[in-house]
Amino acid sequence: MYRIVNRKQLADNIYLMDVEAERVARSCQPGQFVIVRTDEDGERIPLTICDYDREKGIVTIVFQCVGAATYKMADLQEGDAFRDFVGPLGRPSELVNESVEELKKKKILFVAGGVGTAPVYPQVKWLHERGVNADVIVGSKTKELLILEKEMEAVAGNLYITTDDGSYGRSGMVTQTLKDLTAEGKHYDLCIAIGPMIMMKFMCQLTKELGIPTVVSLNPIMVDGTGMCGACRVSVGGEVKFACVDGPEFDGHLVNFDEAMRRQQLYKTEEGRAMLRLKEGDTHHGGCGNC
């Protein structure tokens, strides 16, 4: 069992939990995820790791209530425990394999949309701890839905907050903020964008126009977390990939976002899943590929 040692509500239907998971904390890296279950009959839920403390053996997760399983998670209190807390899974951020000296030469921009702020934070923190500054744009629908602002401010080189309704920070979408920054003379060598699929799609369209290499995290389309359900099947540069086993990070300029979003909608119904299995045949699954 994996005990919850801290629980707090960050915004409407968005929660943060610190969980005792020593083995996960010991080996996880920014960009990876865990799969949790509340009890023996609970649904498997993949969640990107938001933070970790190796000495204390604590892993931090952030989640938004979108269905029965996550609402059930939200009912857990400090002292309660998860039945399963499996990880780390997925490939770490490409940044952790680069030379720190080379990273210091780059102008890096992170773009976080909504709950995507949670997986962006550990990467920015990892860079900050190694003396690498990165700018961060955080977008939210409203001020009330903004999360981890103080934590991000402590590790970002420059933090730009934008809200869709203009209730806080800059007004408008994250793409508009990037346009404004480049118009002000800002230059970036790399962009990492994490958030809703539609946000990442339009951010990638913009960064392609601006000539900025861009990495996206496709954790929003993961369901099973092993590739065997076929939910996170995506075309990247014309090749079939699975976000949970091949990613979750990919070259954003090569991702077929329209196809991925259509599959998301189809996958929500039993009839749609059956049609996808029939249409995609042996390529429907990742993981073992034969389930």
> The CATH number of the domain where 198 resides is what?
3.40.50.80
From the list 177, 180, 179, 243, the residue with the least C-alpha distance to 215 is 243
Number of domains in the chain: 3
Same-domain pairing of 282 and 180? no
Same-domain pairing of 166 and 133? yes
Same-domain pairing of 224 and 212? no
Tell me the residue range of the domain where 123 lies: 94-217
Helix, strand, coil share (%) of the chain residues, nearest 5: 35, 30, 35
Same-domain pairing of 195 and 109? yes
Give the per-residue pLDDT at 248.
78
What stretch of H or E contains 85? strand 84-89
Per residue in 66-108, pLDDT (tens digit) is 888 888 889 999 999 999 998 898 888 889 888 999 999 999 9
Q: Which residue among 89, 104, 134 closes a domain?
A: 89
Q: Which residue among 153, 188, 217 closes a domain?
A: 217
Query: What's the predicted TM-score (pTM) here?
Result: 0.83
Same-domain pairing of 236 and 207? no
CATH code of the domain in which 10 resides: 2.40.30.10
Burial class (CB in 10 A: 0-12, 13-18, 19+), 271: exposed
Same-domain pairing of 100 and 165? yes
Per residue in 247-278, pLDDT (tens digit) is 678 888 998 888 887 766 654 544 444 444 54
Same-domain pairing of 213 and 237? no
Same-domain pairing of 211 and 120? yes
Give the per-residue pLDDT at 287.
47
Other C-beta atoms within 10 Å of 66: how many?
10
Q: Which residue among 217, 238, 254 closes a domain?
A: 217
Q: What is the mean pLDDT of residues 148-177?
A: 92
Same-domain pairing of 111 and 201? yes
Same-domain pairing of 110 and 161? yes
